[in-house]
Amino acid sequence: MAVSEVNLDDYNIYSHLSDEEVLQIAVERSLADTHFPPGSDQTTSSSSSSASSSSDPPTPAAQNKTNPNPRERHPDPSRHLYYVPPSQPPPADLPNVSNCANPPTALSQFLYKAFKREFSPLQSMIINGDAEALMDLVRRRSTSLTEPDDEGWIALHEAAYYGQLQCVRILIRADPDSVNRFSLKNQTALLLAAERGNISCVDFLLKHGADPNIANKDRDTPLFAACEQPNEVIVDLLLRSGAQVNRSCSQGGTALHEACRHGRLKLCRMLLEAGANLQNKNIYGIQPFFTAAQNGHVDIIHLLAKKGADINGQAGDGASPLFEASKNGHVSVVEALLSLKADANRSMKSGLLPLHVAVKNNHTRIVPMLIPVTSSVRVRYSGISPLHIAAERNRDECLKLLIESGYDINSELSEECSRMYEDRRSTALYFSVYNGNLEATEMLLEAGADPNLDLFNPLLIAARLGWMDIAALLLRHGANVNAQICTQPTSFPSAILLTMECLPMLKLLLDNGCDARPCFDCPYGQKPHPAVTPSRRPTEDMQVSGDVPLQRSIQFCEAVSSSSFYRVTGPIISVLLDYVSHVRLCSRLLEVLDSCSDWAPIKLKALPPHPLMQLCRLKIRRLVGVQRLKLLHTLPLPVRLNRFLHYDVHSSLT
């Protein structure tokens, strides 16, 4: 494979490695750079374990720290996107990263660009902390110190960014007026030092006239940047120097929002003492209290509540702090909010309540907390029961909790919610059957779920998908075995149409009272039949669409003679004949049976006289009735007779 013509002088150290190995190195370096930003003080760690040490004065080593990875010049971290309501897109698209189209050449160029960056002599001097060489440039009054680069950075920006305090001192003393110069993105040296966590540089710049309230083009102030990292020492320095605590960034977030997001209790106290406004909202209508609940910070929840925060303050889409805590599974926060009398019946604009979202995300420790405080009236008003969500998402444990708490098993979706599904489903039982969830289906049926409420009977779903266990369960609990598909009328039970490719399922339905006789009631009889028009598959017919007109009623002989059932037509007819008495095969069925010599006995099976035992069995079953067939085993009958009436193929009375 051809090698790239690009000069890869700095890349030749990787020449003995494979592309995969080199890419692994790139990933590892990227991760290391993310967690340990070069040039930052040790006190900038955002972990809670380092929070206590962040207030210590910087050590001399930290004051003059040389950037360990100068190749990371100007990072462009993704702007933290605050809570974004589902119906609203983020305010700006994230940058796209193009894929390598021709590895390894493209990969080599990618890594080359990532690791090899040309620095000017001045930049290298500052990165290495060469104060003596920098002093020499100052003495010679070099214009390079104040000439901006293509990003608008001057030497002071570089020194502040890389945390080179000695260089910052030299440059400020040489040109005091440069302290507030900003780049093309309105970045001042103070802002760069604050966002990089360079405490000593921040302290020096503030003492020499740096304005703590100059924001960049994203409206980020040094205070906001210090809270975004976060760093309590820098925040304290900025507040003491007059930083405006309630300035907001382009997304409307304030320093207090950031402190709450990170869960920094000390930082929140500092900001509140400086006058931070608890009612400030970002562009999504979110207050700091909401942010603390969203991120699971209980101690901050209690602090802000004592200061008068609105514990029920809702976002633009209606989400409340309790809703967000329930969604994200913050058990202790939910406990705290409920103890503070947070309203569990504040709904989203969509109507969903905290209980709905807790069930959706399977937070089984939160669901029992919300059930007692959730209004059944508000649940009905929402148009969807938590039972529906539990069944749809296969949240069996939540489903059990809801059933035990007394939720209406047969609650139906509102018309608006039902229309969101092509099959217009309405019950929790339908969801469980559709998912093939036997355990949930059994729980609902045992609790009293009616299997015949939906537009499309759940039994038809189980029959079409071949789920024998679920079909048997539905039949035991009274599912209508002769249900029809309303969008595709047939002259015989729709369940037969759906199960002709699965003879065991067909027999199960027939054993439980499915009426086979209409299959042989053909209006054409022995006369010629019209040509068969192709029909949609049954699964497509189990959808409601205003664009598709209702089709004419399908005859059994038309359906069974189609090419899709050609190989099983004979066995299907044979099975059905066991469940009827005096019938006559129409000309089309005879034509189909004549097409295969092996099916000749089936024609004879349809001819009279019929066995007396079969006629007696059919008569008894007809007198018992479909709904009581499942109770036959309770009658004081001999086991052999009972099995005979149930079509046990291994039993006979002769």
CATH topology of domain 611-654: Elongin C; Chain C, domain 1 (1.10.750)
- 3-class SS of residue 490: strand
Residue spans per domain, the chain: 9-36, 481-610, 611-654
Q: Which residue has the tokens 């070069």?
A: 38
Q: Is 296 left (phi over 0), alpha (psi -120 to 50) or beta?
A: left
Non-local (6+) Cβ contacts of 27 within 8 A are none
How far is residue 104's CA from residue 111's CA, in Å, rounded to a whole number?
10
Q: Locate 603 and state its tokens.
A: 């024609």
> What is the model's pLDDT at position 639?
85
Contacts of 349 (CB under 8 A, 6+ apart): 317, 318
- Tokens of residue 213, six digits: 């309230």
CA angle 31, 36, 38 (to 5 degrees): 110
pLDDT tens digit sequence for 101-157: 444 445 445 444 444 457 788 888 999 999 999 999 989 888 889 999 989 999 999
pLDDT value, residue 43? 38
Q: What angle do CA 8, 11, 14 make, to 5 degrees?
A: 140
Q: What is the pLDDT of residue 532?
A: 65
pLDDT at 23: 56
* Residue ranges in the chain whose pLDDT is less than 50: 1-16, 31-105, 107-108, 110-116, 539, 651, 654
End-to-end CA distance of the chain: 82
Judge contact between 549 and 586, C-beta under 8 A: no
Give the residue carrying structure tokens 């897109």.
89
pLDDT at 197: 95
User: Cα dihedral angle (78, 82, 84, 89), rounded to 10 degrees?
Assistant: -30
Q: State how far the Cα of 26 lies from the Cα of 43, in Å rounded to an integer.
A: 26
Decide: helix, strand or coil at residue 566: helix
Cα 567 from Cα 572, distance rounded (Å): 10
